[in-house]
Amino acid sequence: MKKYLTSVIAIHNVEGQLGKWPGPVIEAESFEAAQDWCLKNTQYLFVEQEILEASKDENAGFQLN
């Protein structure tokens, strides 16, 4: 399953300024499914992007997974 980074836009409780903070990582089949999960379960999170993992293969260098 793919992993997606989420964010929330809110007013800082001490400084009173609008800001964007990272939310939880969500696992879903697609970007649309992750966004649907956010809408159904939180009403305030939104999906930023898919998280790509990089690994180092000793013989081939770096590789995106």
Euclidean distance between CA atoms 46 and 26, whole angstroms:
10
Q: Which residue has the tokens 């409780």?
A: 13
**Model confidence, pTM:** 0.74
pLDDT, residue 56, reads 64
Number of domains in the chain: 1
Q: What is the mean pLDDT of each run of 10 residues along the chain (65 residues)?
A: 95 92 95 96 94 71 59
Tokens of 30: 């697609």
Residue-range definition of the domain harbouring residue 45: 2-64
